[in-house]
Structure 1
């Protein structure tokens, strides 16, 4: 075919529409911009298909594009519809479950502890879902796909399966926010298909509170392991705050645990004050000579003492109980040997109580009431009578 336009004509053209032939038109606007248009006839209609802006798309490229879409037209298909379908398919290819899940994770990092570096948020998906569904466009995923993936672990690894399903719900909502057509009820439908899990929750074994004094008395060699475990028992704190305890966190008889060492989502937890009993302060004094790099309880080589060190100690003694279980021992003692109000007792463990509205108005951490309880707990642990503590209600 003989074309009508040349590159020089295009460069010098004034505002208007110029036909090149075979349905290709050059359109020059009054604002100086220009573009290529493909005009064709199909079913008594004369659609116009944009082929790109000039000079980003040159004359030769525009002619090649027209030749390609002419071939589609000869095949009886509408070039515009074919192109739109190709775009949707390309978009779906980019919006696989794996891609969207990682985007959702990135968007959520700011509220996760250490920006999610520990991997606990993403690992249920990475281990149990993405290996089988990661390359599938998220818009195509339904409850049957999710059931097929999670059914093998629904009863045997129930905790991981439920976490994976919860994460998937968040990912689906993220996809919907992106404008993708996903089934927001897919995860709930999956739960219905999977049914009730047969898994029985196993709580962390705890030492009965009446046996704690004997165990505490056995921690008597003055080592970092024994001293750290004593503070764990006395403070009823979680493992990480004790292991990463630093002297600058302690002022008088109050230990302020930084928010980053507390359990909970980033931005939703704050520093937590722990009243220290005289016994706890004595343990800290004994630990000071061992301090390294600012940490009271360093490991033998580098860093701080590990959870495993405590667990192995208890295992060697033939104990079923684990270090974290001392929080349960303490909480049971509060319930059975004191009349501590529920809120005060739960605050001792840094648990959140009450509704969101109630917490907005009730901001006390009950430090003075807790100070009395922690001193009595220390008295009991070190061989006191463990008599009922009478709390003064305010």
Structure 2
């Protein structure tokens, strides 16, 4: 004959005297002498009795405790140890928290200080964001191997070689970051992936420069007054790089001197001195 279930009621639980009370179906309520109480599941597997904690009362209600008890009794009926199965699921859930997307963001945050403008331009993170995370972002970093990386970067390995190289480099940094966090990762996965992908066929070519003889005519053609045209004129006159020009602020200009902050200059990482660009009056009759 089946043992009765649902012996307890919510109304009587708080008034119970210290002791252990069965609700049926293996669910027990334990009222302690200090006034606290908790739920536990009692089950027998392979001839051995086990007790599995299900949480404290009233944080876990009677209804919730019954649901948990039924859930884990179903596991026992399948011949599994409920306590060990819960531990296994906990480890699995913990591994899933360390997905590549989270590791990549954490690695980026830790390196911001090394990047120009704290990486706000997005160039460090964009190869990952565009070409790696859409496919591998939700995958636990400990499970990523060379085949996953190969399949992810194969579509751009030869056609967008420089981007693929940067993505591979960033991914390698993320794997090392994960290892530093104590996660079990394959630090050789990216090198193995390179071996699987083979040597890149694409060769990077520089964008051809405009012959200096053509610059005056090009300068004169920039007469529309748009921001882009005015910026190009200033670029031609000062020969600065595009980054400081795109991030120019009026407070950087004092009279005929433009002071570019040290951190905005390429190749001056860690420099403390600014870079000054003098503005020279242009002759009205000159071409530039």
What's the TM-score once normalised by structure 2's chain length? 0.73
The correspondence for 2:244, drawn from 234, 241, 262, is: 241
Q: 2:238 aligns to what?
A: 232
Deviations 1:132-171, CA, capped at 9 Å, x for gaps: 3344333321011111222332233111111111221233
Deviations 1:325-364, CA, capped at 9 Å, x for gaps: xxxxxxxxxxxxxxxxxxxxxxxxxxxxxxxxxxxxxxxx
Query: Which runs of 4 or more aligned residues in structure 1 lie more than 6 Å from their structure 2 counterparts after TM superposition?
Result: none
Q: Secondary structure at the match of 2:48?
A: coil
Q: Secondary structure at the match of 1:101?
A: helix
Pairing 1:1-394 to 2, within 5 Å after superposition: 1-2=3-4, 5-102=8-105, 104-105=107-108, 112-113=115-116, 116-176=119-179, 180-206=183-209, 212=212, 214=213, 221=220, 224=230, 227-233=233-239, 237-242=240-245, 245=248, 248-251=251-254, 255-259=258-262, 261-263=264-266, 268=270, 272-274=274-276, 276=278, 280-283=279-282
Query: Given that residues 231 and 242 in structure 1 are in contact (C-alpha distance below 8 angstroms), is that contact kept between their aligned partners in structure 2?
Result: no
- More strand by proportion, 1 or 2? 2
Query: Given that residues 161 and 200 in structure 2 are in contact (C-alpha distance below 8 angstroms), is that contact kept between their aligned partners in structure 1?
Result: yes
The 2-side partners of 1:63 and 1:245 are apart by 65
Unpaired runs of 5+ residues, structure 2, are 224-229
Number of residues paired by the alignment? 275
Q: How well do the aligned residues superpose, as a CA RMSD in angstroms?
A: 3.8
Deviations 1:92-123, CA, capped at 9 Å, x for gaps: 55544345434544565566555545432332
The 1-side partners of 2:232 and 2:187 are apart by 51
Residues 1:264 and 1:57: Cα distance change in structure 2 (over 3 Å): farther
Q: Bigger CA drift: 114-123 or 150-159?
A: 114-123
Q: What is the CA-CA distance between 1:253 and the residue it aligns to?
A: 7.1
Deviations 1:63-116, CA, capped at 9 Å, x for gaps: 332233222212211112222333344445554434543454456556655554
What's the TM-score once normalised by structure 1's chain length? 0.56
Query: Given that residues 219 and 230 in structure 1 are in contact (C-alpha distance below 8 angstroms), is that contact kept between their aligned partners in structure 2?
Result: no
Query: Given that residues 235 and 242 in structure 2 are in contact (C-alpha distance below 8 angstroms), is that contact kept between their aligned partners in structure 1?
Result: no
Residues 1:232 and 1:205: Cα distance change in structure 2 (over 3 Å): farther
Unpaired runs of 5+ residues, structure 1, are 287-381, 383-394
Q: What is the CA-CA distance between 1:128 and the residue it aligns to?
A: 2.3
Query: Given that residues 256 and 271 in structure 1 are in contact (C-alpha distance below 8 angstroms), is that contact kept between their aligned partners in structure 2?
Result: no
